Amino acid sequence: MTAFTDLHTRCAALGTRLFTVTTVDEAAGLARRLYTSHPAEYPVSGTKPMEKDGWYYHTVAGKRTFVANTPPEFAMYFFDHALIVSLGLGSCINVPVVDGGLVLGTVNILAEAGHFTPAKLAAYEALVAEATPALAAELR
């Protein structure tokens, strides 16, 4: 899982406070966690249902980064929003890992509210893009 660890380290340098990587299993309707910076709260191999909601259509079907800079922006999509807020986190991005036209998973990065300025968002997306070949190999 070196690709996950390396990307986590690079993202932490930008201020990431919670970092996970999940697979997208459309057949099962689940997202599965493969890497986490917070194993107590978000253990590896944990799953969550993948609802076909606004988040899904934007991030998985649309292959675009989901950005929420305040809890109300993500609360409607994340059943665990109260846990996220209890950890002192108030913003998140979910960057899809796309390979061969398919979303294999997402890189999930959380920080304090308002963290994802346009400049930081561009920096995070560039890191994920650079790591995509290695991430795709881990996610397949």
The CATH number of residue 95's host domain is 3.30.450.40
Q: Which amino acid, 131?
A: A
pLDDT at residue 130 in the model: 97
Q: Is the dihedral of CA 65, 18, 47, 21 positive or negative?
A: positive
Pair 22, 138: CB distance under 8 Å: no
**Token pair for residue 63?**
């292959």
At a CB cut-off of 8 Å and minimum separation 6, what does 62 contact? none
Pair 39, 49: CB distance under 8 Å: no
Question: With a cut of 50, which residues of the chain have pLDDT below it?
Answer: none
**Which domain range does residue 37 map to?**
2-139
Number of domains in the chain: 1
pLDDT at residue 134 in the model: 97
The residue written with tokens 């999509």 in the block is 77
H or E segment and range at residue 19:
strand 18-25
CA nearest to 104, candidates 134, 76, 69: 134
Give the tens place of pLDDT for each residue, 79-116: 999 999 999 999 999 999 999 999 999 999 999 999 99
pLDDT at residue 1 in the model: 55
Integer Cα distance of 37 and 48 in angstroms: 17
* Model confidence, pTM: 0.95
**Token pair for residue 3?**
């690709």
